[in-house]
Structure 1
Amino acid sequence: MLKIQEIREIIKLIDQSDIEEFVYKHDGSKIELKKRVNKPAQETIQYVTEVVQEPQPVIRQEVVPEVPAVEKAPAASETAPVQEVVENSHLHKIVSPMVGTFYQASSPDSDPYVKVGSEVTSDSIVCIVEAMKLFNEIEAEVEGKIVEILVKDGELVEYGQPLFLVEPK
């Protein structure tokens, strides 16, 4: 059976190529990888949509004197996600290398691998993603400090989905 690092390398190679599906069979084991071609484009469109919508609150602010104070709050809250994207642009995202279930610890009784504020090295294990009854340890791949955990324990994650934000050293 392939080691997790070998599977990661295969995933990276498939991600960089035009291959949409990959199947590996050996000694009764089978690994099947499928690339979702439209997924990254949808994420990009959503990001661009958020950035494009940034001027809307500014236009609404010009109209604010005529609008009751109750509507002023939503306009301010609409600008918050855009500002957060700009502020977090220097942060490194640790993404899921596969589709599976996210776990913060090796067992329900154990402490999480990392918490917000934890220092990590490139080979630090930050979580486990279970796929097809296999528990795959996910490494940080960067040195720094965990700033945010983006998924909840036991949540299903997609290939390429951000799991953690890390402030690099």
Structure 2
Amino acid sequence: MDIKDIQNLIKFVAKSGASEVKLEMEDVKITIKTGSDDAKETTVVQQIPISQALPQAPAAQPVAPTTPAAPAEPKDENAKYITVKSPIIGTFYRKPSPDKPTFVEVGSTISTGDVLCVIEAMKLFNEIESEVSGKIVKVLVDDSSPVEFDQPLFLVDPS
């Protein structure tokens, strides 16, 4: 089970209204608790060392990919750019750590799979990779700012 599967599970539990869900598989134990006050969520993930895990058959069902970046609103001058949006709720960081350089700057040329930023969600730092190739035109979020699901982060010129 990868981080995207866990994030999708958290979203599903939050929407379902369940107060607690426990999932135990051969190599992972997950407990998700949702409280009624301010809809806060608590997730505990424990991974059993691989030496203890039983061998598994390959997964039969493919994991649905995250939503691809959608074009910006066609009514303004940014219509020709692709908007890279946040796949999760969390805190946006442009650097891997405070003493390291930023992942991308305005004018940086990127290709599919390049890391654009990290988003911290529940003490986990999730690398956000580009789903398009092109040139960064604009960074839409300040460093260390909270971001919402599907919030625009970058404008990319695909040409």
Q: Where does residue 89 of structure 2 map in the other structure?
A: 99
Q: Where does residue 15 of structure 2 map in the other structure?
A: 20
Q: Is the radius of gyration larger for structure 1 or structure 2?
A: 1
Q: Give a deviation string over 1:128-153, Cα, whole Å, max 9, x none.
A: 00000000000110000000000011
Considering only aligned residues, what root-mean-square deviation do their CA atoms show, in Å? 3.0
The reply on whether 1:128 has 2:118 as its aligned counterpart is yes
Paired AA for residue 20 in structure 1: K
Contact 2:22 2:29 (C-alpha < 8 Å) held by counterparts = no
What's the TM-score once normalised by structure 1's chain length? 0.57
Structure 2: 5+ residue stretches without partners: 35-72
Distance 1:164 1:32 in 2: 32
Distance 2:103 2:146 in 1: 18
**Which is strand-richer, 1 or 2?**
2
Q: Give a deviation string over 1:35-55, Cα, whole Å, max 9, x none.
A: xxxxxxxxxxxxxxxxxxxxx
Q: Give a deviation string over 1:74-106, Cα, whole Å, max 9, x none.
A: xxxxxxxx9x95110111111111110000011
Distance 2:107 2:5 in 1: 30
Paired AA for residue 29 in structure 1: I
CA gap 1:96/1:7 in 2 versus in 1, 3 angstroms: farther
Q: After superposition, where does 1:36-47 map in structure 2 within 5 Å?
A: none
**Which is helix-richer, 1 or 2?**
1
Instruction: Give 4+ residue runs of structure 1 displaced > 4 Å after superposition.
Output: none
Identity %: 42
The reply on whether 1:148 has 2:138 as its aligned counterpart is yes
Q: After superposition, where does 1:41-80 map in structure 2 within 5 Å?
A: none
Structure 1: 5+ residue stretches without partners: 34-81
CA gap 1:111/1:4 in 2 versus in 1, 3 angstroms: same
What's the TM-score once normalised by structure 2's chain length? 0.60
